[in-house]
Amino acid sequence: MSQTHADYRLSQLDQLEAESIHIFREVAAEFEKPVLMFSGGKDSIVMMRLAEKAFYPAKIPFPVLQVDTGYDFPEVLATRDNWVNRLGVRLIVASVEEALAKGIVVDDGKTSRNRHQIGTLLAAIEEEGFTAAFGGGRRDEEKARAKERVYSHRDEFGQWDPKMQRPELWSLYNGRLHAGEHMRIFPISNWTELDVWHYIGREGIEIPSIYFSHQRSVFERDGMLLTESDFNPCKPGEEASTRTVRFRTVGDLTMTGCVESTAATVDEIIDEIAVARLTERGATRGDDRFSEAAMEDRKKEGYF
Amino acid sequence: MPAPTDGRFHNDAQLISTAQNVGRNMDLLRFATAGSVDDGKSTLIGRLLLDSKSIFEDQLEAVEATSEAKGYDYTDLALLTDGLRSEREQGITIDVAYRYFATPNRKFIIADTPGHVQYTRNMVTGASTADLGLVLVDARNGLTEQSRRHAVILSLLRVPHLVLAVNKMDLVDFSQEVYDNIQAEFTSFATKLNIPDLQVIPISALAGDNVVNRSENMDWYQGPSLMHHLENVHVASDRDLVDARFPVQYVVRPKSDEFHDYRGYGGMVASGVLKPGDEVVVLPSGMTSKIAGIDLFDSEITEAFPPMSVTIRLTDDVDVSRGDMIARVNNAPKPSQDIDAMVCWMTNEPLRKGQKLAIKHTTRNGRALVKDIQYRLDINTLHRDTESAAANGLGLNEIGRVQLRTTVPLLCDPYSKNRTTGSFILIDEATGVTVGAGMINDRT
C-alpha cells in the first residue's frame, strides 16, 4: 500500500507548536538553571501552555519569574495565580517597589515603571543565578526583534549586542555561556499575533479578562486610552469616561492603552485584528513610541 | 465567503477569512531571499508585505517619515526591513531578518538576507531552514557573479525550490529577448548545481508586474506570477517519510504517583514515520526494542512524522539518553567519528588544519579535530582551490571541504538525504561563538 505524502501534512500552527516545544526541551536539557519570564500577557500564557506540553506528564522543570511593577492589572495577577497553581510551578516575584527601596534601580521621577523592570529583572536573574530566561518575544512585533535570535546571548551586564549575535542555523541552537552570562530564549519567535490568538482559542486556555471587551473608566492621553486608577489619576484637562474597551497588550497599567472594542470572544478578536490598521505595540504602548529605535535601545540594556 | 484568488486583499471580509484560516489548515512555506539594495529585493519584499496587508499604518508612516527626513523622492521600503540602527545608518541589510505574511491558504516566513559576499554566512543561515530560495537579478545587468553565488549557496544548502526573479523588466521595455537570454544562461549554469525545481519569472517589483497579478506588459510570458508560484509550489513532498530518524532530546520522567513508571523520550521527528509497534534500534548502543506508544501532550497518537515534537515510549527498559537516536532496525545511520563535510566558516580567525572545536549534531555534543582541509570552493566559479586551502585554511565566509575526527560517533546521514541529520555546527571552545556550519558529504 502506498501512502501519499500529502497525508502527512502538519498545519502551520502545529508546525509552530512543534518548533516551540523543541526549543523548550533543548533549553531544559542544556542549561543548568532556566526560568520562564511570565508577564501575565497572552504571549507568556501561550509559553506556559507550550512548556506544559513539552514536559507532560512531568511538571515544568523550571520556575516562573514575574517582574511586578506595582502597577499591574489585578485581573492579570489573578490569571497568573490560576496558572501557577494548576501547573504546580514555583513563582518568583521580583518587585520593582523592592528594587527601588533597595536602590537597585533609582526613580528619577521621569523613568517609567516599564523601564525600571530592566534593572529589577537583571538583579533577579543575577541573584538566583539563572542561566537561561524564556521570553515571549515575537519577531513580528517590532523591527529590532525581526533580527533577534531564538537563543539571544546576554553578556555579564545583561546587554544585547546586535552586531555580535551568533549565527543560528537549522534547528541547532548554541547555548554556550561564560560565567555570569545568560541567554534569553524566545520559543515563539516565529509566531504572529494571529497565531497566538488562534492557539489560545484552539487550546481553550485562560487569559486575563481585560483582553476581552468590557466597561472601563478611561481617559485620553497622547492619543491613547489609559485606565483611570489611584496610581494613574487624570491630569488637569483630562476627563475620564466609561467606555467599552479591551486591551491588545498587557503591561504597566499607567502606560498601556486600551482600544474601543466590542470583541468578546477569541474569534471576534481575530476578526478585529484582521482589519486593524495599527500594530499592537504602536497602538497601545507608550514605551515603544518614543523613537524609531526605542525597542532596540531597551533590548540592548537588557529588556525582554 | 469568496477568498481572494490573486493573493491580494480587496475588502475586510477577505482579510477576516484569511485571518481565520491561520488557525485552521493553513500551510507553511519558509523562503529565503538573497540580494542587495540594487536588485530591488527590499522593494519586492515591501510589496509582498503591503499587498498581503502585513504592514500596518504606523509601520508605513514611520518609514514614510524617515524617507522624507532623508530627502528621498519615494518611500524607501527597504527601511521596513532594515531593523537595526546601524543598518539604517549604512543603508544596508547586515543581518538575517525574519518577516511574516499570510495569503488565504499559506503562511510565509521570509528569511531576508543580505547579498554581498561579506555576508555569505548570513545567507547560509537564512537558507538553512528554507523550502524555497528567491534570487533576484536586475534585467539590465543580467546574471552577475552575485546571482551565481546566491544560486550556489542555495544549492549547497539543498534548498529544494529556486526562483530566479528577473527584476526591473520595466527598464528593459519588458523585452522577451532580455528575459530569454537570462533564463537560458541561468538554466545552463544551474545544471552544474543541485536544484530540483527552478522557476524563472520576469517581474517589476516597483510597478508590480508579475508580482501578484500576471503582467499585461509581458503577454509572451506564460508562467505564474511570483505570488501565485509561492502560494502553490508543492513542498509537502520535500519531506523524507521513509527513513525514520528520531534524535532523543529530553528524557521525560515525571516521578509522580500518578505516572510512577513513566519513561518517555521527547524529541522532534527528523524524518520518516514512526508508529506504535515498530521495531526500533537505539543508537549508538545498537539495542533493539519496540515502540510502546507515542504521546503528544495528553493524547496517544497512531503515528508521528516530521516535524512533529512527540514523546516516544519503548516496550523495554533500555538505557536511552539525550543524544541517542531511535531509528528502524533495517534502516539506521551508521555511527561515524570520521566526518567528511562542506563547511562554511563564519568568523574572522581562519579555520586551520589541526584545530579543535566543539561540535553539535542533532542533539549530540562532542569535540572535533580538523584532520584536513581538502579544498576551498570558489563559490563564484565552483573552482576547487587546494592550494589556498593548504596555505590559508578557510577564511570568513569561505566554504570548503573538510575532514573531521570527532570524540563521539555522529549518528548521521548525508546532507543530500537529510538536512537535519546531515548538518552540524562548529563552536569555538574559548569564545562559545558559532564559527562554522557543516553539511555532511555522501560517502564515496
For chain A, the structural domain boundaries read 12-194+294-301, 205-288
CATH code 2.40.30.10 region(s) in chain B: 245-328, 336-440
Contact A247, A256 (CB under 8 A): yes
Which of A92-101, A204-213, B190-199, B323-332 is predicted least confidently?
Answer: A92-101
Do A273 and B96 lie within an 8 Å CB cutoff?
Answer: no
User: What pLDDT, on a 0 to 100 scale, did the predictor assign at position B81?
Assistant: 62
Q: Can you give the pLDDT at residue B2? A: 40
**Chain A residue numbers touching B298 (CB-CB < 8 A):** 56-57
Q: How far apart are CA A248 and CA B379, in angstroms?
A: 48
Judge whether residue B432 has pLDDT over 50: yes
- Which of B59, B95, B250 is nearest residue A147 as measured by Cβ atoms? B95
Top CATH class, B245-328? mainly beta
The Cα–Cα gap between A284 and A227 comes to: 12
Percent helix, percent strand, percent coil in chain A, to nearest 5: 40, 15, 45
Average pLDDT score over chain B: 89
The predicted-structure confidence for A116-158, as pLDDT tens digits, reads as follows: 777 888 888 889 999 999 999 999 887 677 888 999 998 888 7
Comparison of pLDDT for B410 and B11, the residue scoring more: B410
Give the containing element (helix H, strand E) for B345. strand B336-345
Q: What is the pLDDT of residues B179-228, one digit of tens each?
A: 999 999 999 999 999 999 999 999 998 888 999 888 999 999 999 999 99
Residues 6+ away with beta carbon under 8 Å from B41:
B33, B34, B35, B112, B115, B136
Check pLDDT > 80 for residue A294.
no
Instruction: Give the domain B336-440 fold.
Output: Elongation Factor Tu (Ef-tu); domain 3 (2.40.30)
Alpha-carbon distance of B51 to B101, in angstroms, equals: 10
With a CB cutoff of 8 Å and minimum separation 6, the contacts of A209 are A75, A79
CA–CA separation, B122 vs B117, rounded Å? 10
Q: What is the pLDDT of residues A200-236, one digit of tens each?
A: 999 999 999 999 999 999 999 888 899 888 878 888 8
Q: What is residue A286's predicted lDDT score, i.e. its pLDDT?
A: 56
d(CA B251, CA B248): 8
Q: Which residues from chain A sit within 8 angstroms of residue B255, using beta carbons? A: 58
pLDDT of residue A232: 83
Give the residue from B312, B322, B242 showing the smallest Cα distance to B284.
Answer: B322
- CA B259 to chain A, closest CA, distance in angstroms equals 7
Please give the ipTM for the structure prediction.
Answer: 0.93
Q: Angle at CA A196, nearest 5°, toward A194 and A199? A: 110
Question: Pick the residue with more confidence: A50 or A110?
Answer: A50
Which amino acid appears at position B347 of this protein? T
C-alpha–C-alpha distance, residues B54 and B110, integer Å: 12
For B12-238, CATH gives 3.40.50.300
Extract the C-alpha cell encoding B235. 513542498
Cell of B156: 549547497
CATH for the A12-194+294-301 domain, from 3.40.50.620, 1.25.10.10, 3.40.50.1820, 1.10.3720.10: 3.40.50.620
To the nearest whole Å, the CA of A41 is away from the closest chain B CA by 20
Q: Is the CB of B22 less than 8 angstroms away from the CB of A279?
A: no
Assess contact for B241 and B271: CB atoms under 8 A.
yes
B116 with B38: CB under 8 angstroms?
A: no
